[in-house]
Amino acid sequence: MKEQLDFMAGRVTAGKMTRREFMGKAAALGVSAAVASSIFAQAARASEPKRGGVVKLGSVGGESTNSLDPATYASQVPYHNGNQFGDTLVNVAADGSIENRLAESVEASADAKTWTFKIRQGVEFHNGKTLTSEDVLKTMQRHSNEDSKSGALGIMKGIESMKADGEYFSVTLSDANADLPYLMADYHLIIQPDGGMDDPGAGIGTGAYKMEVNEPGVRHVYSKFANYWGDDGYFDGVEILVINDATARTAALQSGQVHIINRVEPKVAGLLSRAPNLTVHSTPGRGHYVFIMHVDKAPFDNKDLRLALKYAINREEMVEKILRGYGSVGNDMPINAAYPLFDSAIPQREFDLAKAAEHYKASGHDGSPIELRVSDVAFPGAVDAAALFQQTAAAAGIPLEIKREPGDGYWSEVWNVQPFCASYWGGRPVQDQMYSTAYLSTADWNDTKFKNADFDAMLLQARAELDPVKRKEIYSKMGMMLRDEGGLICPMFNDFVDATSNTLAGWETDPNGELMSGQVTRKMWFA
């Protein structure tokens, strides 16, 4: 019985069973509450963080063209690089609250137009420079600059002025925005010495780990920064290995070559979860796998053609065959029930070949092949998903042609460049940030080229509206507009499916992104 109780206690510390469930099962076995509590406490002590060791992460989404400049981050490996060497002012915690990082506190004016961040004192950059509010100001100025091509450019558009004053950094907005702290948590906004103005790709920040080796498309090596300001970051070092092939990534974890992998393919997740030395973590969230059309380029500048393609995709089939149940059906908008102001009353777009054929005919398209570019790195099963899409489109008389692209260069040469391709979004904590990043007319990451003055105006209106009921109504209208007029085909919302070796402890479920919203090497440790 002792072994059974120890096993159950281990499941609690691994996050697979609640303490209440443990106590209930222990009682069912005839164990007193006092004895059960003692066993639980022993297990909890055994799971306290330990320092040391070098952890290895095998990740998809790395290319030879990757830069360490946070403004450029568009795929997984750059994102994880930033989480090793850098910090933002604030993070979004797993429960959706704001967690202070380089900002010790955040305060807003009564009208939610001016926000003041008190900058943490005594924080050191990896180059020995001490963090100041001027570094914060210059970082934000760089990401506000059109020439930076920053992925955060869209969310910086509403800022009227910024100021550094002693220990404080303040932002004044042209319109009120109750969600401003969430925008400042954007992973591009890593604070760099002098804002990264001189050398944005130097990989110098205030994070737990210091860059030692930078081989884009191959590997990135970090050592623990001796003067790190935080109390997490338990490893002596981190090595990120670029393993874009899903089979090779899974094999690397099984063989012990790496301790952590992202993007476990749903088709192997069930089998992998039965391995005695591994744990598969499936986390529902805001991530979505998509096909994106540039609405400003023929033939996708034709609304009827866009609707034809949207009606021609079988969402339920994709969730079943591609996600294997690790996700849910999408509705051609980037928002789902994981967002607090989601409107469940928006009608679900259904698979309808008759409507697809009707809209295709109305589009007047000449019948030439419509080229859809895909790659294995776009999302797990992207090539298979495109093949399913091609089959259902053909049934509606739509000539979809698949062009398979190499993984290296996909995020620089295909995504946001070619007019029709497969892609993914990890989602954002709040609707304002998702819309500002990808659908505001002036956003650099507007990857469907959707530009609508009414949509932009509603986005600003929603920011200034502090009544959540009225705000929800505005967001509902924006969602409907994107669904019916935009270039996004969103067949499914994916779970984040990651896997770790059981030599590690400290996993926390976080719906904000894969691998504990990128914090896996900061919050886990060797058991």
> How confident is the model at residue 434, as a pLDDT?
96
Which tokens belong to 323? 């996600």
**Is pLDDT larger for residue 324 or for residue 17?**
324
How far apart CA 70 and CA 83 sit, in angstroms, is 10
Q: Is the pLDDT of residue 44 over 80?
A: no
AA letter at 313: I
Which tokens belong to 227? 């003067």
pLDDT per position as a tens digit, 191-243: 999 999 999 999 999 999 999 999 999 999 999 999 999 999 999 999 999 99
Please state which of the four CATH numbers 2.60.40.10, 3.30.365.10, 3.40.50.2020, 3.10.105.10 is assigned to the domain occupying 288-494: 3.10.105.10
> How confident is the model at residue 19, as a pLDDT?
60
Q: What is the mean pLDDT of residues 248-265?
A: 97
Q: Give the three-state DSSP class for 410.
A: helix
How far apart CA 315 and CA 351 sit, in angstroms, is 7
Q: Which of 239, 126, 261 is nearest to 190 (CA)?
A: 126
Handedness of CA 431, 432, 435, 437 (dihedral sign): negative
**What percent of the chain lies above the pLDDT cut of 90?**
85
How far apart CA 77 and CA 195 sit, in angstroms, is 22
**Is pLDDT larger for residue 237 or for residue 35?**
237
Q: Where are the domains of the chain?
A: 2-46, 87-196, 207-282+496-526, 288-494
Which tokens belong to 374? 């895909």
Residue with tokens 């995020």: 411
Residue with tokens 């295909």: 414
Contact 337, 344 (CB under 8 A): yes
pLDDT per position as a tens digit, 407-420: 999 999 999 999 99
pLDDT per position as a tens digit, 345-387: 999 999 999 999 999 999 999 999 999 999 999 999 999 999 9
Q: Is the pTM of this model over 0.85?
A: no
Model confidence band, residue 161 (pLDDT cutoffs 50, 70, 90): very high
Q: Is the pLDDT of residue 14 over 60?
A: no
Give the number of other Cβ atoms within 10 Å of residue 256's Cβ. 11
How far apart CA 45 and CA 192 sit, in angstroms, is 37
> How confident is the model at residue 244, as a pLDDT?
96
If you average pLDDT over every residue of the chain, what do you get? 93
> How confident is the model at residue 475, as a pLDDT?
98
> How confident is the model at residue 3, as a pLDDT?
46
Q: What is the mean pLDDT of residues 52-56?
A: 98
Going by the DSSP 8-state scheme, the letter that residue 200 receives in this structure is T
> How confident is the model at residue 9, as a pLDDT?
57
> How confident is the model at residue 37, as a pLDDT?
58
Q: Give the three-state DSSP class for 87.
A: coil
> How confident is the model at residue 158, as a pLDDT?
84
**What percent of the chain lies above the pLDDT cut of 70?**
91
Q: What is the mean pLDDT of residues 119-138?
A: 98
Q: What is the mean pLDDT of residues 520-527?
A: 98
Q: What's the fold here for domain 87-196? A: Dipeptide-binding Protein; domain 1 (3.90.76)
Model confidence band, residue 281 (pLDDT cutoffs 50, 70, 90): very high
Model confidence band, residue 42 (pLDDT cutoffs 50, 70, 90): low
Q: Is the pLDDT of residue 491 over 70?
A: yes
**Is pLDDT larger for residue 7 or for residue 131?**
131
Q: What is the mean pLDDT of residues 127-149?
A: 95
DSSP string, 209-265: EEEEEEETTTEEEEEE-TT-SSS---SSEEEEEE--SHHHHHHHHHHTS-SEES---
Which tokens belong to 216? 């884009």
How far apart CA 2 and CA 29 sit, in angstroms, is 11
**What are the φ and ψ backbone dihedral angles of 520, each rounded to 5 degrees?**
-60, -40
| Beta-ladder partners of 172 | 114, 161
The highest-level CATH class for domain 207-282+496-526 is: alpha beta
Q: Is the pLDDT of residue 422 over 60?
A: yes
**What are the φ and ψ backbone dihedral angles of 45, each rounded to 5 degrees?**
-65, -40
> In sequence order, which residues have a C-beta less than 8 Å from that of residue 95 and are 6 or more positions away?
none
Q: Is the pLDDT of residue 2 over 50?
A: no
> How confident is the model at residue 157, as a pLDDT?
84
Which tokens belong to 471? 């705000």
pLDDT per position as a tens digit, 72-101: 999 999 999 999 999 999 999 999 899 999
DSSP string, 14-83: TTSS-HHHHHHHHHHTT--HHHHHHHHHHHHHHTS-----EEEEEES---TT--S-GGG--SHHHHHHHH
Q: Is the pLDDT of residue 172 over 90?
A: yes
